[in-house]
Chains A and B, each alone.
Chain A
Amino acid sequence: MRLLVPTIVLLAMPAAAHGEDLVSGLSQDQIRITSNYTGTNITVFGAIEAIAANDAGAVRDIVVVIRGPDADMTVRRKVRIAGVWINRDAMQLHAMPTYYSVASSRPLAKIAGKETLERYQIGMVNVQPESVGTHNPKKAEPFRQAAIADRAHAGLYSEDTSVEFLGNSLFRARVPIPATVQRGEYTAEVLLFRDGNVVSAQTTPLFVDQFGFERGILNFAHREAFWYGLTAVMMAALFGWLSSLMFRERA
């Protein structure tokens, strides 16, 4: 949600000043997790509209940021005590995105300055939790970095330069959505940079959810937890009984 605020401000201001606007869309606005779901790619495409004829020489870049639902994370650090590695220090990171992916037309460092990237949380290193469980931000920093590294290792945070320009104004990017993504509301934000400044941005929601048989099981497990557990037991009992019949026939 907090991304929407700067977006709205942006849309109102500089885009109008330059007369340049952005149209973008997603190959799908919903990712359906079903029994054979093993992860997918979504294509983000769009066009820069109304490039002034006398302004064609300006450097334009496109950055696509997809963020997943926020969640609280607990990051723990192991310490060796009496030869055994034990979790000792822990840090709460409140409202970190569970998924974060950025695709850009060039390496991020070449597109904009450090401050701009930090402000818009562009780039994995700039992903920030809403708040941390300490008053000393320096203490939380190694834990934040560890959380980012952990997510990147799991393929849930990623960064690449996969935005391609097809001609002068059309662009396209493919963003991987791995099998382990959480269900929930995602946002795809497309930012247009002109000479290192954000001049236009557009945010599109993207929904990830389970469907069909899997969804039924998930609902059953959460709404009728007791009966779900009993079903699991009955299933196990049926197999156990069948198996004992097979043993007897052989004996």
Chain B
Amino acid sequence: MELYLPIAEMSVHWLIILGMGAGVGFLSGMFGVGGGFLLTPLLIFYGIPTSIAVATTSSHLTASSLSGAIAQWRRRAVDFKMAAVMLAGGLTGTALGVSLLGLLHRSGQSDLVVSFLYVVMLGAVGGMMLNESARTLLAERHGVAAPARRRSGHAWIHGLPFKLRFRQSRLYISAIPPLGLGLIVGILSALMGVGGGFIIVPAMIYVLRMPTNVVVGTSLVPMVVVTAATTILQSVQNFTVDILLALVLIAGGTIGAQMGVRIASRLKGEQLRLLLAILVLIVALRLLYGLVATPDELYSVAVGTS
């Protein structure tokens, strides 16, 4: 059951890779996230070189975000104008991210920076989600309605120029914040092999104040294009996309996502959010431990770089 990966130049057990794809796909289906933040560390842990794990995960994310985007588009839950603005920022970010990754790689700090970014972002997002969902669940248990979120604040957004009307989102806001969010997604996609949904979705809800029903669909559209562009850029600049690895991962992901959706329909939204928060925090803690614990081997060897 061994499969030799021509780009990674190593052989892997294809059932394990299929299982990883299915597991991450399961979580995608269950929580509605891309799962890149889990898949990239899993592949690295299995022994796939970091650069290949990051680049190949982006093609996996193209598949899962496209599947989600099509489903959301059928429900008319996509604000294409907003998506286009975010996409413009996203493509710029991708180009920046791919160059930045090359620069970090040459200085020997890419692993450190990538891990550090993961810890900070997953820690922040996981903490926020945990806090909120725990509070809601506790309030329900005590028979008290969860306090409604204040819809004030963030006045600075309304002071920015270049205002555009986003009909589907019922918003009249500056183009700068969605452009900036797109830029962040692009950089993260190239640098960390993640779609960035775990950051972009909360940001769209709490910073842009978009209606929740269009948030997921709208975030997926630029993600499809950005991850596709990342795949092509990584192929051309770094030769780091392994198409066989991608094929097995995507096949697993497609199966897993189906099961995930089925399970999700039996659980409550807040319970799901609590589970996801715990999962995100576990990954963050594991990565933090890797940064501060005394490593077994102080030396690391990179072959073929100069």
Contacts and interface: CB of A to CB of B under 8 A. Distances in A.
Interface string B1-25: 0111011011100000000000000
Given A85-B294, A182-B9, A241-B66, A225 B239 contact: yes
Nearest to B291: A84
A73 B301 contact: yes
A182 B304 CA distance: 11
Contacts of A179: 4, 10-11
A218 interface: yes
A94 B235 CA distance: 27
Residue in A39, A87, A183 whose Cβ sees the most chain B Cβ within 10 Å: A87
B292 A76 contact: no
B304 A71 contact: yes
Interface in B109-163: 109, 111-112, 116
B300 A226 contact: no
A76 B108 contact: yes
Q: Is the interface of A mostly helix, strand, loop or mixed?
A: helix
A220 B233 CA distance: 15
Contact of B297 (A74, A150, A242): A150
Contacts, number: 191
Contacts of B303: 71-73, 98
Contact of B109 (A86, A215, A243): A86
Interface of B: 2-4, 6-7, 9-11, 59-60, 62-68, 70-71, 74, 108-109, 111-112, 116, 224, 228, 231-236, 239, 241, 243-244, 246-247, 250-251, 253-254, 257-258, 261, 291-295, 297-306
Interface of A: 33-39, 71-78, 80, 83-87, 90, 92, 98, 142-143, 146-147, 149-151, 153, 179-180, 182-183, 210, 214-215, 217-218, 221-222, 225-226, 228-233, 235-237, 239-244, 246-248, 250
23 contacts: A76-B299, A77-B299, A78-B295, A85-B294, A98-B303, A142-B299, A149-B297, A179-B4, A179-B10, A183-B9, A214-B4, A222-B239, A225-B236, A228-B243, A232-B59, A233-B228, A236-B228, A236-B231, A240-B63, A241-B70, A244-B68, A247-B71, A247-B258
